[in-house]
Amino acid sequence: MTVLSSHRSVAGPGRRAGWTTARIISGVIGVLLALCSLGPLGSGSVALWASTTQRHGGDINLGTWNYRSTGYAIVSSTADLYGAIGGLPAPRWLLGTVTISVTPAAGAGPVFAGIAPAGAASRYLAGIGYDTVRGMTHHHVSYAAHPGGAPAAVPAGAGIWAARAAGPGTQTLTWPDRSGSWSVAAMNADGSRPVAVAIGVAAALPSLPWIAAGLLAGGVLALAAGLALIGVPARRAASHRLQAAAP
């Protein structure tokens, strides 16, 4: 006599039912990948938005800040845009053309703006009363004051500037296309004090669309992989539960 068993096999040969250890690990890794994808997806979206909507004349505005000094000049800390920023390389292909705009405060006269090698700027400013910008905290600019007198001549007459502009209204400079330590100085065109200006920085950032595309592609791939690692074991575990529940 043949005995028919009422027990039905749920898992096929070599396959285990339910949430096995391997499936749990796969799901955890999938969740981590999905969470990690949010970073590049968010950054890529911001980069794409900036590249497509924030360009003005081909440049992207990186920010504008107001500065005031009771002295005869406002001077930046030394910088090397095309060498390194904070120890990281900043090649020209990444930044493109960098422009600095200097606008005198309302009611102020013509302004002078210049970029010079840091050493030459330091020698020129020796003995002149000016302020060096140290940084900004909560939209408040901090300065290092340097006591001194008035410049002996108008700033445009100094032969130290790699780029310079002077006159009423906004004056625009292009950052020198070479590495080195540089200083940006803003003064009244006649060399008087005090100095009150708004300084803006803009860059072409020609590689930004490619950076945005790379971030978005990486984020999509990470998200897809994460969803697959979550979905496949979840579907198999659910399938086995349904088979077990079937009569």
Strand 55-56 to strand 74-75: parallel, antiparallel, or no bridges (unpaired)? unpaired
Of residues 79 and 154, more confidently modeled: 154
Query: Computed from CA positions of residues 125, 151, 127, 76, in that sequence, does the dihedral angle turn out positive or negative?
Result: negative
- Mean predicted lDDT score pLDDT of the chain: 85
145 and 26 both lie in a single domain: no
164 φ/ψ angles, rounded to the nearest 5 degrees: -155, 160
- The mean-pLDDT minimum among 16-20, 58-62, 174-178 falls in 16-20
CA distance 17 to 244: 9
Q: Is residue 52 part of a domain?
A: no
Which residue range(s) make up the domain with 217?
21-47+209-245
User: What is the CATH classification number for the domain harbouring 128?
Assistant: 2.60.120.380
82 φ/ψ angles, rounded to the nearest 5 degrees: -100, 15
Mean predicted confidence (pLDDT) in 59-74: 93
Tokens, residue 243: 């088979």
Q: pTM surpassing 0.95?
A: no
Distance of CA 30 to the CA centre of its chain: 29
Q: What is the DSSP letter of 221?
A: H
Domain total in the chain: 2
| pLDDT value at residue 162 | 96
88 and 35 both lie in a single domain: no
Mean predicted confidence (pLDDT) in 23-42: 93
Q: Is residue 127 part of a domain?
A: yes
40 and 154 both lie in a single domain: no
Q: Sorting pLDDT into bands at 50, 70 and 90, what band is 23?
A: confident
Q: Is residue 227 part of a domain?
A: yes
Q: Say if residues 61 and 202 touch (Cβ distance below 8 Å).
A: yes
Does the pLDDT of residue 123 top 70, yes or no? yes
Mean predicted confidence (pLDDT) in 79-88: 59
225 and 158 both lie in a single domain: no
Mean predicted confidence (pLDDT) in 85-114: 81
CA distance 41 to 33: 12
